[in-house]
Amino acid sequence: MYLDHAATSVLRPDVLEAMSREWARVGNPSSLHEPGRAARRVVEECRERLADALGARPSEVLFTSGGTESDNIGVLGGYRARRAVDPARRRLLVGAAEHSAVLDAAEHLARSEGALVTLVPPGRDGVSTAEAFVAAAHEGEGGPDAVALAACLWVNNEVGTVTDVPGLASALRELGIPLHTDAVQAAGRVPVDFAGSGAATAAVTAHKLGGPTGIGVLLAQRDAALQPLSYGGGQERGVRSGTLPAALVVGLEAAVTSAVAQLPTEAPRLAALRDRILDGVLAAVPGARVTGAWERGEVSRRSPANAHVLVPDCEGDSLLFLLDAAGIACSTGSACHAGVPQPSHVVLAMGYAEAEARGALRLSLGWSSTDADVDALLDVLPDAVARAQRAHAAASARAR
């Protein structure tokens, strides 16, 4: 049973079929001969349909290798371009609950290029607000005029909370600060309208919504200043050089357009599964807590695809391994650094104590999820929790 769609989702059969057709053809979209022109036509038609699905103009769709690269171009490229014009803009406002693709890019700028990074914490409910970003802009050295860029997730990859991106972007725009938003967990799960969002740039990846790994887009407003991270053939407005992978572009387009078209029926269906998981965990595990904003049936503050809980007196990692042994694939949501499980920076940023954060468990849904997945999870969960708690108690006793 696969409950880790936020890590990567199951490839959609229609995507596989569309890609297989395209893999069988030859042609570099930059070549001038007929096979090249045919590949170019395929890519440009995909670009148009993607733009349509995501509320962008075709010229705002830049193909990349995925979410990490899109975030890096948005943050590094956006910061460097702004600072090149105005060297006094040294500051970066970054959500404290961002994915490492954004956090580590910001840290790199701080370490190597003298950027001053302010981490803006979410609320206890995991939601990042315009008020917190505006306050951070005013509080730091030089105020808003010294800020080059802000970055905030659209949907948090660990706890699934949704940012009001249009509200945030408009508050920041009044201060002259462009926003990069990581929409990797948002596209296909909540409505994403790039033009309406007011963000300067947004990252999307194919493999989170049933497409292939290795392809994504950076949505970039026409006037968004971006320095490239790599140099070469000048493809994608000179921002992202490299031969375009036509078959992956086809797969990305098929996945995004399917996910977006199915969203009106999928969002309530997944929210019902999400709510069954959360209610089931609360009923089965005394002291368990739902992390982040949640109302049954509601999808505007929490992604319909995300169930995240804190299980008391246990290590999320042991729970994960016990569930895995029982045939349930899920995640703690947080990264493992050098083989050592770390409490999630997201849960800590929300104000939970380290001991509470250690019991984090993320169950994430996707297009192929069914009630049978939830039944299987709820069947094995009580025993797995009891065993993980016993292991935790034994380890604590040994440490004393």
Residues that bind ligand PLP (CB under 6 A): 66-68, 71, 99, 101, 153, 157, 182, 184-185, 205, 207, 216
Least CB distance from residue 208 to ligand PLP, whole Å?
A: 7
Largest CA distance in the chain: 73
Among 99, 236, 216, 76, which Cα is nearest to 160's? 99
Q: Which of 152, 314, 330, 336 is catalytic?
A: 336
Q: Which residue is nearest to ligand PLP (CB)?
A: 67
Active-site residue flag, 336: yes
Q: Which helix (H) or strand (E) holds 120?
A: strand 116-120
- Cα–Cα dist 385/280, whole Å: 13
| Residues 304, 365 contacting (CB under 8 angstroms) | yes
| Residues 196, 203 contacting (CB under 8 angstroms) | no
- Cα–Cα dist 263/200, whole Å: 24
**DSSP at 150:** E
Least CB distance from residue 99 to ligand PLP, whole Å?
A: 4
Three-state DSSP string of 251-314: HHHHHHHHHHHHHHHHHHHHHHHHHHHHHHHHHHCCCCEECCCCCCCCCCCECCCEEEEECCCC
- Cα–Cα dist 76/97, whole Å: 18
Residue given tokens 């140099």 in the structure block:
231
DSSP 24-71: TS---TT-SSHHHHHHHHHHHHHHHHHHHHHT--GGGEEEESSHHHHH
Indicate the residue among 68 and 197 with the shorter CB distance to ligand PLP.
68
Indicate the residue among 22 and 182 with the shorter CB distance to ligand PLP.
182
Indicate the residue among 140 and 216 with the shorter CB distance to ligand PLP.
216
Indicate the residue among 66 and 280 with the shorter CB distance to ligand PLP.
66
Least CB distance from residue 157 to ligand PLP, whole Å?
A: 3
Indicate the residue among 98 and 164 with the shorter CB distance to ligand PLP.
98
Among 54, 38, 98, 45, which Cα is nearest to 72's? 98
Least CB distance from residue 77 to ligand PLP, whole Å?
A: 16
Least CB distance from residue 174 to ligand PLP, whole Å?
A: 26
Least CB distance from residue 127 to ligand PLP, whole Å?
A: 15
Indicate the residue among 6 and 385 with the shorter CB distance to ligand PLP.
6
The residues that bridge with 149 in the sheet, in sequence order, are 92
Task: Cite the active site residues.
Answer: 336
